[in-house]
Amino acid sequence: MSDCLFCKIAAGEIPSKKVYEDDVCYAFYDIDPQAPVHFLVIPKAHISSVSEVNGGNAPAVGHIFAVIAKLAKELGLESYRVVSNIGPQAGQSVLHLHFHVLSGRDMTWPPG
Ligand code: AMP
Ligand code: ZN
Peptide bond between residue 59 and the one before it cis (omega within 30 degrees of 0): no
Predicted pLDDT at 93: 98
Q: Is 46 a residue of the active site?
A: no
The 3-state DSSP class for residue 63 equals helix
Q: Which of 13, 40, 42, 81 should be mutated for ligand 1, with most atoms under 8 A from CB? A: 40
Q: How far apart are CA 6 and CA 91, in angstroms?
A: 16
Residue nearest to atom 15 of ligand 1 (CA): 31
Asked whether 97 and 7 are in contact (CB, 8 A), the reply is no
pLDDT per residue rounded down to tens, the chain (112 residues): 789 999 999 999 999 999 999 999 999 999 999 999 999 999 999 999 999 999 999 999 999 999 999 999 999 999 999 999 999 999 999 999 999 999 999 999 999 8
Ligand (nearest to CA of 7): 2
Give the pTM: 0.98
Helices (H) and strands (E) in the chain, counts: 2, 5
Q: Is 91 in the pocket of ligand 1 (CB under 6 A)?
A: yes
Q: How far apart are CA 80 and CA 37, in angstroms?
A: 9
